[in-house]
Each structure stands twice: as C-alpha cells, then as structure tokens.
Structure 1
Amino acid sequence: MRDAEEARTQPLGPQDEEEPTSGGTGYFIKGFGFQPTYCLQNMAVSKVPSYQERRQEKQKIDKEMSQLKTGIAGLCRPCPWDWTLFQRNCYFFSQSKRNWADSVIACQDMGAQLVVIKSVEEQNFLQLNAKNKGPTWMGLSDLKKEGVWQWVDGSHLWFSLSNNWLPGEPNNDGDEDCAEFRGDGWNDGKCRVEKFWICKEPAASCSSP
C-alpha cells in the first residue's frame, strides 16, 4: 500500500514528461495519455489577390466609369441646372436680391435676359412662381420715356398683357420706372430697390441630328 502511494507522489521522470503530439490537438503525457489538443485543420486562410488580379479589377472599374460618363454626357438637358423649363423656354428664379439694373446684368452674364413675357400662359406661370417668392423684377420699364413701357429686348408691352397691372398701377409714385411681379399682378417700383429677379433663355434642342 505504501509502495502505491510513493508511486503516485513520485515526480515525473524523463519518460513521463509531457510532449506535443504530432497527430492530435494537444499534449500527450507519457504514461498517462492526457491529450488536450490544438488543431489547425479547420482554420480558413483567405486568399490575397495577386497584383495581376488587382490590376484587372481596376481596369474593369475604370472602363465602367468611362462608359457611365459617356452616357451622362450624351443626355440632353434643355435647361441648365437650377433652371425651370416651361413651353420651350428656361427660367432662372434668383435666390438673392438685386436692383433692377443689376438684375439685367446678372441675366446677361448668364447668356440670358431679364424675363420678357410673350403670352398669357407664360404670365400665369411666372406670376405664380413670383408670388411664392415675393416682389420680383421683370424686364419691363419706362426708363426711356415716362409712360411708355418697353421690354429689355426693345419690344413694347402688348395690350393683351397690360391688364396684369394691379388696380391703380402703374402710378409712378415717387419716380417708379421698373415693373415687378407683386402678389397677383404687376406694380411699378423704384428701380434702385433690391428684389428677386427672373432670367429667361430659349431651351436647347434635344432632337436627334
């Protein structure tokens, strides 16, 4: 009995030392068979793309981007960005305010003109949009001759549009020589006062050559 106890308390000898096993996932202690394991069999190793594969992928993306840009460039826009199309004309509704003369120049700088109204339908469209913004300059004035209203393109005010003046207007109250959209009609205002403004230019043709 004592011999058995001594055998259990005796330190491990060289033949009993733990050593890693070659086929298992752990240690094998000689004489005891204890075998906790570490296994690499189920570990996934991700593949790193080669230089050639990365280069081919980049060329594919570049080609697709080039085709996309070509397609966008081929699309026809009748009006520039931030302009509104209505009956074959483009309109720019300003977000800032200028006096009447500076509004004329601002439109010219964009290759357009301060809006000239040619039809009742156009008037209704512009009046509605201007009403939502507030007092807005149009390209109409009697600066050249008092009481003779003329558009910036040199044409005179048509009689059919003259009924758009608000009641009692134009009254030239305090030297008012420039026309504006105000509420539901037109008003003559002081040209030096800053207001919103509207530019107009013909829409681009998108017909096939």
Structure 2
Amino acid sequence: MSDSKEPRAQPLGLLEEEELITSGMNFFPRDFGFRQTRGYKSLAGCLGHAPMVLLLLSFTLFTGLLVAILIQVSKNPSSQRQEQSMQEEISQDLTQLKAAVERLCRPCPWEWTFFQGNCYFISNSQRNWHDSVTACQEVGAQLVIIKSDEEQNFLQLQSSRSNRLAWMGLSDLHEENTWQWVDGSPLSPSLRQYWNQGEPNNIGEEDCAEFNGNGWNDDRCSAAKFWICKKSAASCSKDEGWLLSSVSAPLTAHAA
C-alpha cells in the first residue's frame, strides 16, 4: 500500500520572502496604517480649532440677536409714542415754570444785589467817572451815593472781595475840597472817616472818589475804573421780597 503524502509547501527563497514582505508592507501601511494616521491628524486638528469656531459662532448669533432686538424696539410705535408724550409734558412744564418766574415780583433786576431796600450793581468793564455816571443813568440808577455806615461797610466789602477799584458818585469838581454827591448833596462829616490815610490829597487834579482798599481815595476823573450803580428796590410783598432777596445775584454779577 502506497503511502499518500500531502504536497509539502516549498520553502521560499530569499527573493520570494523579500517580495512577500514588501507586498505586505505596501498593502497594510497604505490601506490601513497611513490612512488611519492621516484621519487621526485631521480629526485632532478639527478638535483643536473647535473652541474658536464655537466662540465666533456664538458672537455672530449674539450680534444678530442684539441687532434684531434694537430694530424691533425702534420700530415699536408704543415706545415712540411714550417718548414723544414725555417730551411734550416736559416742554409744557418748562413753559409754565417760565411764566411763573416772569410773574414773580423781583425787588431788583437780575444781576443786581438787594441790600436794605436798595439795589446795587458793580460793572465788569471800566469807564472814566463821567461815563460811569451816564452808564448808571441809562439803567435808571445813580452812581452810588452812600448814606450810612452800614451801606458803606457793605459796599467796601463787596469792592474788596472783587479786588476792584470802583467809582462812587462823589467829587469836588464844582469846588475844590468841597465834596458832593451826584445828586448835589454834600458829604456828611460822619462819612469823612472813610478816606484812606492822607486822602483826599488832590495830587494831579484828583477830583473824583473811588473805593480803594479799605477806604476811599481821590483820583483823576479821566481814569478808567469799574463803577457801582444804585437805585431803589421795587415794591413787593414781604414774603416775595424776602424770598427773592435771599437768592439775589452777587454784587459782582456780569455787567453790560
């Protein structure tokens, strides 16, 4: 009985083994290994940029939503009507307030100061003495005439605070050393104490009086200085007078 033998695989030669290995390497790396590596790297790249993409997307959506809301609000007729109604109410209130202020009794014009029944105004510009007299007359007043110690102290304080040399309505133009106010009344002896030491000295034809420092000084009437006007206050009720005098403008208000 003859033994049947299965055919044996022939051993591969070196060349055949090399071809098989090369063939396997070409198949597996190309079809599996290389493509897996490439796909992995692509996926990792996408995941790495995901936060930035999400952030940009969120910002875009938020911006679009905000614009849509603003457009909707601007087109809302109800909001526009409410705003217009509020503006009309405010305008009416201001008109009524202005009318009420105009009806108030003011003892002194705006930019004048009330003191003991009189109104005073000190300028911000400068003129010579004669032009200062005219400036006060043009507003229905006089270049200030001082009649009491209280009035003198008040005016001297205001002049000192403003650091201004200001004309008063006193001169000896008609007769040397005979000082008279612009209304023709003489300077009372009780007020002569307010001349500064050594004044009036009439140096260089100094015939007009000014507030200077803590007292009075005579100077040339042609010199340009500030001036103070005075006139009687308007007649108001007691309540109105006290109310408005408490909010009177300072003496150094703006001048014409």
TM over 0.5: yes
Residues 135 and 60 of structure 1: CA distance in aligned 2, closer, same or farther (over 3 Å)? closer
Give the residue type in structure 2 aligned to 1:151.
Answer: W
Equivalence for 1:188:
218
Quote the Cα distance in structure 2 between the aligned partners of 1:200 and 1:51.
53
**Structure 1 alignment gaps of length 5 or more:** 1-42
Which of 81, 103, 114 is the aligned partner of 1:85? 114
**Bigger radius of gyration, 1 or 2?**
2
Quote the Cα distance in structure 1 between the aligned partners of 2:81 and 2:164.
62
Higher mean alpha-carbon deviation, 45-54 vs 135-144, is at: 45-54
Equivalence for 2:143:
114
Quote the Cα distance in structure 2 between the aligned partners of 1:180 and 1:61.
49
Q: CA deviation at 1:66?
A: 3.2
Residues 176 and 49 of structure 1: CA distance in aligned 2, closer, same or farther (over 3 Å)? same
Establish whether residue 200 from structure 1 lines up as the match of residue 230 from structure 2.
Answer: yes
Quote the Cα distance in structure 2 between the aligned partners of 1:115 and 1:129.
13
Quote the Cα distance in structure 2 between the aligned partners of 1:76 and 1:106.
25
Give the residue type in structure 1 aligned to 2:235.
Answer: S
Q: Secondary structure at the match of 2:206?
A: coil
Establish whether residue 151 from structure 1 lines up as the match of residue 181 from structure 2.
Answer: yes
Q: CA deviation at 1:58?
A: 6.6
Q: Secondary structure at the match of 2:124?
A: coil
Per-residue displacement from partner, 1:121-155 (whole Å, max 9, x unpaired)? 00011111112323211000011111111101111
Greater strand percent: which structure? 1
Which of 127, 138, 153 is the aligned partner of 1:124? 153
Residues 134 and 70 of structure 1: CA distance in aligned 2, closer, same or farther (over 3 Å)? closer
TM-score norm. by structure 1 comes to 0.71
**Structure 2 alignment gaps of length 5 or more:** 1-67, 239-256
Quote the Cα distance in structure 1 between the aligned partners of 2:198 and 2:82.
78
Greater helix percent: which structure? 2
Give the residue type in structure 2 aligned to 1:98.
Answer: R
Equivalence for 1:170:
200
Q: CA deviation at 1:61?
A: 4.7
Equivalence for 1:138:
168
Q: Secondary structure at the match of 2:104?
A: coil
Larger RCO of the pair (alpha carbons < 8 Å, separation 6+) = 2
Residues 171 and 207 of structure 1: CA distance in aligned 2, closer, same or farther (over 3 Å)? same
Q: CA deviation at 1:181?
A: 1.0
Give the residue type in structure 2 aligned to 1:149.
Answer: W
Residues 157 and 62 of structure 1: CA distance in aligned 2, closer, same or farther (over 3 Å)? same
Per-residue displacement from partner, 1:34-72 (whole Å, max 9, x unpaired)? xxxxxxxxx875531499988876764554333222221
Write out the 4+ residue segments of structure 1 that deviate beyond 6 Å after TM superposition. 50-58
Q: Secondary structure at the match of 2:236?
A: coil
Quote the Cα distance in structure 2 between the aligned partners of 1:135 and 1:58.
49
Higher mean alpha-carbon deviation, 62-71 vs 187-196, is at: 62-71
TM-score norm. by structure 2 comes to 0.58
Quote the Cα distance in structure 2 between the aligned partners of 1:207 and 1:150.
35
